[in-house]
């Protein structure tokens, strides 16, 4: 069993629920909101992720949990989702021996914390059992503390939120076992031996079993200890094992649509689209002077209309550039840097350096749009673009570190109607750059 590094966070900024404490797994307010008494919360929660699959259904050589989405392995997103829930004390990932080193590299590169590795078995159930053994106190050289409740989750379900994790854990605390479910999308039919329809199930009476699932640790560990070789080899449903061997009926918890599992190649594109959508929900407009504040405000208001579901914030730097680190947060991966007439290469370089040194570009592609506002009747766009050719070289440099830099000229006309039209065109261009996050567009000088 390998322990991952704890040197830096998997994501900058605060944890979702605050810091974990020794005797309390959940903030009382969150538990109460979930319908459970604060005094009934578990004292220790861990998670097990089976990640030993080969991705046969995806039809690619790389196991799907290691396939890259926006240049980052899929499993890293799942680990990040669990790490952000501070009351999950330990996360055990079961991977095959041949992928153990690759998993260690992921932990190291993306700074994942609270991660331990266990060697996966030949099947899903054997991998889960291996992860449970790593948490059990009855195993030799056990380096982890046995939890009261254990979450079992798929390494390729990256969009799990704290709310559903909390609900299945609290239901498991009360019932011994719990699992997320979703309505069936298609009707399930049973074929006869001759390949013809035998019967169909009433879709309204059945549900799809999803992840996460949660169990009192002693319940699921005892179930796996009693499992037959047939169960370990061919079984798929953990809730059924708890029922079969420990007579524990699982509480079923309705889960959100985002719990779907990345199974086929097209699912990777869907996952990428969802991640892009999530990280495009906040944009920071940065200005440096009072003259730019008015332009920044106008652009901010137009952007709000263009991206009506996004949060648009603005930050003003002082004359010396201010503390750039103050607005580099885990919530924002899109920055609009507004200047009027002048363009300060050194100030831009300082900002990009601070951005590169943060962990943001490591986790997601970060979009930076340098917006230069000028009156085209005074300064022809072609002349200004020539003076901004340094953006292309800079963009090529920072692109290597996952920062996508583009330049945008906006006609800051004295004619109010023309100004509004230019701002609207600029907002449309910015929206496209933010939503697409295309490396191919980095280094482009655009005109609105």
Q: pLDDT, tens digit, for every residue of 321-340? A: 445 566 666 678 999 999 87
Q: pLDDT, tens digit, for every residue of 148-181? A: 999 999 999 999 999 999 999 999 999 999 999 9
pLDDT at 142 over 80: no
pLDDT of residue 35: 44
Mean pLDDT of 305-321: 74
Determine the Cα angle at 301 with ends 336 and 281, to 5°: 55
pLDDT of residue 382: 87
Question: Cα(127)–Cα(242) distance, rounded to whole angstroms?
Answer: 16
Look up the pTM and report it: 0.85
Tokens 């994942």 found at: 112
Q: pLDDT, tens digit, for every residue of 27-50? A: 443 443 344 444 445 569 999 999
Q: pLDDT, tens digit, for every residue of 352-402? A: 998 888 889 999 999 999 999 888 888 888 888 888 899 999 999 999 999
User: Beta-strand (E) ranges in 272-318?
Assistant: 282-287, 311-316
pLDDT at 278 over 60: yes
Mean pLDDT of 394-416: 93
52: Cβ contacts below 8 Å, ≥ 6 apart: 94, 95, 96, 99, 120, 121, 122, 124, 127
In terms of Cβ atoms closer than 10 Å to its own Cβ (0-12, 13-18, 19+), residue 168 is buried
Determine the Cα angle at 330 with ends 326 and 335, to 5°: 65
Determine the Cα angle at 357 with ends 337 and 112, to 5°: 120
pLDDT at 24 over 60: no
pLDDT of residue 321: 46
The class that CATH gives domain 282-447 is: alpha beta
Tokens for 376, please give them.
């085209």
Alpha carbon of 204 to those of 184, 198, 200, 240, 409: distances in Å? 8, 19, 12, 21, 56
DSSP 21: B
pLDDT at 139 over 80: no
Cβ contact 268:427 at 8 Å: no
Q: Closest Cα to residue 172, out of 65, 273, 246, 122?
A: 246
Q: pLDDT, tens digit, for every residue of 190-220? A: 999 999 999 998 888 899 999 999 999 999 9
Question: Cα(179)–Cα(290) distance, rounded to whole angstroms?
Answer: 55
Cβ contact 344:313 at 8 Å: no
Alpha carbon of 446 to those of 46, 335, 428, 430: distances in Å? 49, 16, 12, 10
In terms of CATH architecture, what is 2-274?
Alpha-Beta Complex (3.90)
pLDDT of residue 9: 36
Taking the domains of the chain in order of start, what are their residue ranges? 2-274, 282-447
Q: Which of 9-13, 104-108, 415-419 has the lowest mean pLDDT?
A: 9-13
pLDDT of residue 350: 87
Angle between helix axes 124-135 and 238-246 (nearest 10 degrees) is 70
pLDDT band at 53 (very low <50, low <70, confident <90, very high): confident
Tokens 């070289």 found at: 393
Question: Cα(322)–Cα(320) distance, rounded to whole angstroms?
Answer: 6
Q: Which residue has the higher pLDDT, 231 or 60?
A: 231
Q: Rank 24-38, 83-97, 295-309 by mean pLDDT and report only the highest.
A: 83-97
């Amino acid at each position: 069993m390998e322990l991952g590094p704890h040197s830096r966070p998997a994501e900058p900024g605060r944890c979702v629920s605050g810091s974990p404490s020794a005797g309390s797994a959940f903030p009382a307010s969150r538990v109460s909101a979930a319908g459970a008494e604060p005094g009934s919360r578990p004292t220790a929660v861990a998670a097990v992720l089976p990640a030993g699959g080969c991705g046969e259904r995806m039809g690619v050589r790389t196991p799907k949990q290691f396939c890259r989405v926006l240049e980052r392995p899929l499993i890293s997103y799942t680990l990040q989702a669990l790490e952000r829930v501070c009351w999950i004390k330990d996360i055990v990932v079961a991977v095959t021996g041949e992928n153990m080193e690759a998993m260690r590299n992921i932990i190291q590169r993306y700074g994942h914390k609270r991660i331990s590795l266990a060697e996966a078995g030949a099947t899903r159930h054997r991998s889960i059992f291996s992860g449970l053994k790593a948490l059990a106190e009855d195993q030799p050289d056990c380096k982890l503390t046995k939890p009261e409740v254990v979450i079992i989750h798929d390494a390729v379900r990256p969009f799990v939120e704290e709310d559903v994790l909390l609900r299945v854990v609290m239901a498991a605390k009360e019932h011994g076992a719990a699992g997320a479910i979703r309505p069936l999308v298609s009707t399930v039919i049973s074929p006869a031996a001759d390949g013809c329809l035998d019967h169909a199930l009433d879709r309204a009476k059945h549900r799809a079993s999803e992840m996460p699932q949660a169990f009192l640790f002693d319940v699921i560990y005892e179930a796996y200890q009693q499992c037959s070789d047939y169960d370990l080899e061919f079984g798929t449903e953990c809730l059924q094992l708890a029922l079969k061997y420990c007579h524990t009926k699982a509480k079923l918890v309705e889960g959100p649509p985002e719990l779907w599992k990345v199974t086929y190649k097209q699912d990777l594109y869907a996952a990428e689209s969802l991640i892009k959508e999530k990280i495009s929900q906040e944009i920071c407009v940065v200005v440096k002077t009072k003259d730019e504040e008015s332009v920044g405000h106008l652009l901010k208001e137009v952007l709000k209309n263009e991206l009506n579901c996004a949060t648009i914030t603005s930050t003003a730097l002082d004359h010396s550039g201010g503390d750039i680190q103050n607005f580099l947060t885990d919530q924002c991966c899109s920055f609009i840097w507004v200047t009027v007439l002048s363009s300060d290469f050194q100030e831009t370089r300082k900002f990009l350096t601070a951005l590169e040194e943060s962990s943001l570009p490591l986790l997601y592609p970060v979009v930076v749009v340098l917006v230069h506002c000028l009156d085209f009747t005074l300064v022809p766009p072609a002349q200004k673009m020539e003076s901004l050719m340094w953006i292309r070289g800079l963009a090529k440099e920072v692109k290597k570190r996952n920062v996508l830099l583009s330049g945008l000229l906006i006609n800051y006309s004295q004619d109010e109607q023309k100004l509004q039209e230019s701002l609207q065109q600029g907002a449309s261009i910015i929206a496209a750059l933010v939503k697409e996050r295309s490396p191919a567009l980095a280094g482009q000088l655009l005109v609105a």
